[in-house]
Chain A
Amino acid sequence: MTILLDVRDLAVDIPTEDGTVHAVQHVSFSVNEGEFFGVVGESGSGKSVMVQSIMGLVPGARTSGSVLFRDRDLLSLAPEQLRSVRGREISMIFQDPLSSLHPQYTVGWQIVEQIQAHERVSAKAAKARAVDLLDRVRIPDAAARFDAYPHQFSGGMRQRVMIAMGLSLGPALIIADEPTTALDSTVQAQILDLLGEMRSEFGTTVLMISHDLGVLSRVADRVMVMYGGRRMELGAADAVLCGPAHPYTAGLLRSSSFNREPGTPLVPIGGRPPSLLAPPEGCAFRDRCPDAMSICTTKPPVRHYDDGTEVACWLESTPVEPEPPVLPPPSLIATGDDAIVTVDALRLAFPQRRGEPRVVLDDVSLEVRRGETLGLVGESGCGKTTLARAIAGLVAPTAGTVEFDGAPTANLDRAQWRDLRRRVQLVFQDPFGSLNPRRRVGSIIGDPFRIHRLASGAERRAKVQDLMELVGLNPEHYNRFPSQFSGGQRQRIGIARALALNPELVILDEPVSALDVSIQAQVLNLLDELQRRLGLTYLFISHDLAVVRHVCDRIAVMEGGRIVELGTADQVWNDPQQPFTRRLLAAAAPEIPREPRERRLLPPTGSAGAHADRHHAEQLAVEVAS
């Protein structure tokens, strides 16, 4: 096995107005020819900056260490030499294919440009190659689509275009930076399959970054886990993901909803990631680590196990399994005969300037039972958000009725409408975009009291601080601005605002999909706890089947404006009736088996630790079992 990319002691510093961000701190790894190498980490772990700085794509970044690729150090290449490597020998695929393709040029033009940037070929020959590539990534009617603009493609098709472009010069290495994160789960699976196929067809090595352990467990041969700009664990994918040796990897797996039995609370990793402006001296994870010891304030050694796993940790035994949080008993048990919302034959169509009206909801009938969590899953554009808005009374249906607590929501007078606004609340997806950045958190959470004229002055302040306490925010942060909070904390702000008026129904529109796994678990547990304590009913919208299965009592599957399947979470998950549901399930990440693993710790040696003499390791042998 030859090494294609050898990263040694890579450090990336980015000067900013706030100080220097130490985005990557002395990370080493190597990618073997032909393998699928995965890098996993949460946002702020430095994974994207790391691969982009390898290609010299981070403006203003200061790098040290070395990145050997085919006997050249990419970090010390002259700009023109590096340019000739980019796109020809190493190509990149980015997260959001819409923003990553130039909106003003046709996709064909963009592929041809890449070919002509490196090879002297005629426009005609380049076009023929581009059409062939589009065909190979299975873009239907490739020759005609050559002249289409990126906005005329669907998300999945755009990512296929990116892949075609990436493959256009037969690169030795493809770096894919979260290539499926912005896509629907069924499309995600197709793109992953396509990447796998292209790897075997073109003999390309793939280095893929993802925050999603489920995605990586499906495709990666080896994985590296990053946290706080450092390498935590590195090894064969099944070794690392099935029997993690680092407490952080173990924590990530425990907080991933796809990986936990429905009904069992997730075990979140408490706290938040360290600042990269002033990285901690010792282990970056020690503040959040259930296994933290006093020695963790000094730099952890890299331990080598006999199965090739390398772990930067002082711990020599299996990471402990912390107790799941204890949740209060539910204060309300949902029953089949107590519906809070009844939707009957709802139809919603938007008139279009030309042509037929666009039907968004088509004959939807549904009941939300008081006290339950009803999941609404489907791909983007299936009408799930519109249905939620119709239930909240924010859009008027074209036909059919929505009843809330026995009363129809159509033709309300002002007082009734206000009352409905109090009883139904919404929490939105994007914790960054849905809070006004210029308003203080206290006044954002206090808005409902102000709008409904329920409390003012000191009374309002006290109520807001109680709410902040309730959702786990520090009430002393009353006067801070949203930008001073992390993503998870901002979502808590949104939840606190929604709970202010003691609503009965809370509509959660993708409440965790913008959050990191460990933060997702915190927010999901919080929602569960609040539901139990306050007797809330949730309508939970998500494209992520794993999350929905984990938190919902019943699941409604939507496709093309209709509800195609509705049943208990177990029924839908274990015995899906509709082909669309089956496809959705097949695309969802599989549970990663947790396997007890026999693994011996090797004695520390000078350099080549992984291949150290195993005979001397016996006294240090450690049994790793979960």
Chain B
Amino acid sequence: MTRFILSRIAFGVLVLFLLSVFVFMLFYVSPSDPARIIAGDKATEELMAQIRSNLGLDRPMTEQYATFVGNLLQGDLGYSYRSSMPVSELVVSRIPVTMSLVFGGMVFWLAIGIPIGIASARHPGSARDRFGQGFAIVGISFPTFVLGMLALYLLYFVPTKLGFTLFPPSGYVPFEQSPLEWAWHLLLPWLTLALVVAAVYARLTRGQMLEVLGQDYIRTARAKGVDERRVTYVHAFRSAMPPLVTQLGIDIGLMLGGVIVIEQVFGLLGVGSLAVTAVAMQDRPVVIAIVLLGGVFVVISNLVVDTTYALLDSRVRTAAR
């Protein structure tokens, strides 16, 4: 098992290395010039050369990359071209926002999606199933920003106009400061995120449960006299879980790298909104840091998924031993 985890970590490091090379190259070949963006349209060639030399952009690419990696290994991600703040500080300050959004949203989307999926699968073709399926189609096909705007309009704008405030419009309050405010500010983003993602989970759960409920061992459980509740949760859902865990790992890993649309709509200053501004400003160190951060999250969440898999499935566990 330890060997298995170690090999996974080594593989993850390799992935991150390749990712850093790739992103670095991407910037090098891109036509836009960071110096121009920093200095503005009217800057002189001299000033531009000065900026380039300050940023080290006039050196050969391999040298630039070597410096970058050398600094990275010491935990130094460089300074933002735009704000001159240390990139690590900039990115780290955004992580709690995105994490709060993603993990809070996860609780909601699992709490909505999985019960709908299970209820659908238990009575396929019933009214309940059709409702669940309809919910899934609406959730999947609605663009996130439309849903977000709609939520803002109906739950913030209309009530506020009528004189009673249900939700704050935007912003983020750190958890340490006030847990209640934190949750209150995040509730709308959570629900919006959950509605979009829950649909995927409802469908996935339904499909998995339908398959598992048709297995011979479910019939055995019923023949043993196990009650239907226990058959559904202890026997069937247990077997339906591994694909859900995989999906969850992929989703969480991706979202921690920034939930761009929702952060934008609700004015949350998370990793996603930082990414948007950094790309627009050609703020190379920041973009690279965000991409690497996203990569780290994906690698970590995959590692967690693989380990969970082994814990969930006795057969994988035996094979990995």
Choice from B217, B219, B226, B315 contacting A117 with Cβ under 8 Å? B226
Q: Within 8 Å of chain B (Cβ to Cβ): is A416?
A: no
Tell me the B residues contacting A by CB distance below 8 Å: 215-217, 219-228, 230, 235, 238-239, 312-315, 318
The answer to whether B225 touches A84 (Cβ under 8 A) is yes
A216 within 8 A of B: no
In the complex, which residues of chain A have a beta carbon less than 8 angstroms from the beta carbon of B226?
83, 87, 113-114, 117
Tell me if A94 and B315 are in contact (CB < 8 A): no
Q: Are A102 and B239 in contact (CB under 8 A)?
A: yes
Would B225 and A86 count as touching, CB distance under 8 A? yes
Q: B217: which A residues are within 8 A, CB to CB?
A: 99-103
CB distance from B134 to the nearest CB of A (A): 21
* A151 interfacial contact with B, CB 8 Å: yes
- Chain B residues whose C-beta falls within 8 Å of the C-beta of A85 in the assembled complex: 225
Q: Considering only CB atoms, which chain A residue lies closest to B222 in the complex?
A: A57
Cα distance, A581 to B119, chains bound together (Å): 54
Q: Is A55 an interface residue (CB 8 A)?
A: yes
CB 8 Å contact bits of A419-461 with B (1 = contact, 0 = none): 0000000000000000000000000000000000000000000
Alpha-carbon separation in the docked complex, A117 to B238 (Å)? 18
Q: How far is the CA of A94 from the CA of B218 in the complex (A)?
A: 12
Q: Quick check: A113 and B224 within 8 Å, CB to CB?
A: yes
Asked if residues A103 and B314 are in contact (CB atoms below 8 Å), the reply is: yes
Q: Which residues of B contact A162 (CB under 8 A)?
A: 220
Q: If the complex has contacts A83-B227, A104-B239, A113-B226, are A94 and B314 also in contact, measured as CB distance less than 8 A?
A: no
Most chain A CB within 10 A, of B226, B227, B313, B315, is at B226
Q: Is A304 an interface residue (CB 8 A)?
A: no
Do residues B219 and A83 form an inter-chain contact, with CB atoms below 8 A? no
A-B contact pairs, 19 of them (CB 8 A): A57-B223, A83-B227, A84-B225, A86-B222, A86-B223, A94-B220, A99-B216, A99-B217, A100-B219, A100-B220, A102-B220, A102-B239, A103-B313, A104-B314, A113-B224, A114-B225, A117-B224, A117-B225, A118-B225
Shortest distance from the beta carbon of B118 to any chain A beta carbon, whole Å = 16
Bound CA span A263–B217, Å: 43
In the assembled complex, the Cα of A105 lies from the Cα of B312 at a distance in Å of 10
Chain B residues closer than 8 Å to A343, beta-carbon distance: none
B314 pairs with A149, CB closer than 8 A: yes
CA distance A91 to B220 in the complex (A): 9
CB distance from A20 to the nearest CB of B (A): 16
Is A165 located at the chain interface by the 8 A CB criterion? yes
Whether A92 and B223, one on each chain, are in contact in the complex, defined by CB atoms closer than 8 angstroms, is yes
* A-side contacts of B314, CB under 8 Å: 103-106, 149, 151
Please give, as numbers and ranges, the residues of chain B lying within 8 Å of A484 by CB-CB distance.
none
A83-B227, A102-B239 given as contacts; is B220 within 8 A of A149 (CB)?
A: no
| Bound Cα distance A92, B230 (Å) | 19
Q: Do B318 and A101 have beta carbons less than 8 Å apart? A: no
A160 within 8 A of B: no
Contacts of B219 in A (CB 8 A): 52, 57, 94, 100
Residues of the A chain whose Cβ atoms lie less than 8 Å from the Cβ of B215 = 99
| Interface residue? A152 (CB, 8 A) | yes
Query: Could you tell me which residues of chain A, from 209 to 241, have a CB within 8 Å of some CB in chain B?
Result: none
Most buried by A among B224, B226, B227, B228: B224
Is the beta-carbon distance between A102 and B225 smaller than 8 angstroms?
no
Bound form: Cα–Cα A510–B217 in Å: 27
In the complex, whether A497 has a CB less than 8 A from a CB of chain B is no
User: Using an 8 Å CB-CB cutoff, how does the interface string of A148-178 with B read, 1 for contact, 0 for none?
Assistant: 0101100000000010010000000000000
With A and B bound together, what is the CA distance between A85 and B228 in angstroms? Answer: 14
When A and B form their complex, what is the total count of cross-chain residue pairs whose Cβ atoms lie within 8 Å?
A: 78
Q: Give the number of chain A interface residues (Cβ < 8 Å).
A: 32
A165 to B221, CA, bound (A): 11
Taking a contact as CB atoms under 8 Å apart, the answer to whether B225 and A94 are in contact is: no
Chief secondary structure at chain B's binding surface: helix
Interfacial residues of chain A within 114-159, with CB under 8 A of chain B in the complex = 114, 117-118, 149, 151-152
A490 within 8 A of B: no
Compute how far the CA of A55 lies from the CA of B313 in the bound complex, rounded to whole angstroms: 30
A86: B residues at CB distance < 8 A: 222-225
- A106 nearest CB neighbor, chain B only: B314
CA distance A96 to B220 in the complex (A): 11
Residues of B within 8 A of A149 (CB): 314-315, 318
Cα–Cα, bound, A88→B227 (Å): 13
Q: Considering the chains assembled together, what is the distance between the CA atoms of A101 and B230 in angstroms?
A: 16
Are A91 and B224 in contact (CB-based, < 8 A)? yes
- Distance of A102 Cα from B226 Cα, bound (Å): 13
Known: A83-B227, A87-B226, A152-B318. 9 other contacts (CB 8 A): A86-B225, A91-B224, A94-B219, A101-B220, A102-B238, A103-B313, A104-B238, A104-B314, A118-B225
Complex Cα–Cα for A84 and B222 (A)? 11
In the bound complex, what is the Cα–Cα distance between A101 and B221 (angstroms)? 9
A165 contact set on B, CB distance < 8 A: 224
- CB-defined contacts of B313 to chain A, threshold 8 Å: 103-104
Nearest chain B residue, comparing its CB with the CB of A115: B224
Min Cβ gap B109→A in Å is 25
Set of chain B residues within 8 Å of A106, measured between Cβ atoms: 314
Collect the chain A residues with CB atoms within 8 Å of residue B228's CB.
79
Task: Choose among A91, A96, A113, A152 the residue that contacts B223 (Cβ–Cβ < 8 A).
Answer: A91
Which one, A96, A100, A151, contacts B318 given CB within 8 A? A151
Name the one of A55, A57, A104 contacting B312, with C-beta atoms under 8 angstroms. Answer: A104
A55/B227 in contact, CB under 8 A: no
Rounded to whole angstroms, the CA-CA distance of A149 and B318 in the bound complex is: 10
Which residues on B sit within 8 Å (CB–CB) of A102? 217, 220-221, 235, 238-239
- Closest CB in chain A relative to B146 CB, distance in Å: 37
**Most-contacted residue by chain B among A80, A114, A152 (CB, 10 A):** A114
Cβ of A94 to closest chain B Cβ, rounded Å: 6
CB-based nearest B residue for A99: B216
Closest Cβ of chain A: how far from B287's Cβ, in Å? 42
**Residue of B215, B239, B314, B318 most packed against chain A (CB within 10 A):** B314
Q: How far is the CA of A162 from the CA of B221 in the complex (A)?
A: 12
Note all chain A residues with C-beta closer than 8 A to B315. Answer: 103, 149, 151
CB pair B223–A55 under 8 Å, yes or no, is: yes
Q: A67 CA to B222 CA in the complex, in Å? A: 19
Q: Interface 1/0s, chain A 61-98, versus B by CB < 8 A?
A: 00000000000000000011001111110011010100
Known A86-B222, A102-B221, A149-B314; judge A117-B227 contact (CB<8 A).
yes
CB neighbours (8 Å) of A57 from chain B are: 219, 222-223
| Residues in B whose Cβ lies below 8 Å from that of A79 | 228
> Which among B219, B225, B226, B228 has the greatest number of chain A C-beta atoms within 10 A?
B225
Contacts of A94 in B (CB 8 A): 216, 219-220, 223
With both beta carbons as reference points, the residue of chain A lying nearest to B312 in the complex is identified as A104
Q: Min CB distance, A555 to chain B, in Å? A: 34
**Alpha-carbon gap, A321 to B136, bound state (A):** 63
Interchain residue pairs A-B with the least CB separation, the first 7 = A87-B225, A99-B216, A86-B225, A87-B224, A92-B223, A149-B314, A114-B224
Cα distance A443–B230 in the bound complex, in angstroms: 48
Complex: chain B residue closest to A116, CB-CB: B226
Determine how close the nearest CB of chain B comes to the CB of A622; give it in whole angstroms: 42
Asked if B227 and A87 sit within 8 Å, CB to CB, the answer is no
**Which B-chain residue is minimally distant from A169 (CB atoms)?**
B225
The CA-CA distance from A293 to B38 in the complex, in Å, is 100
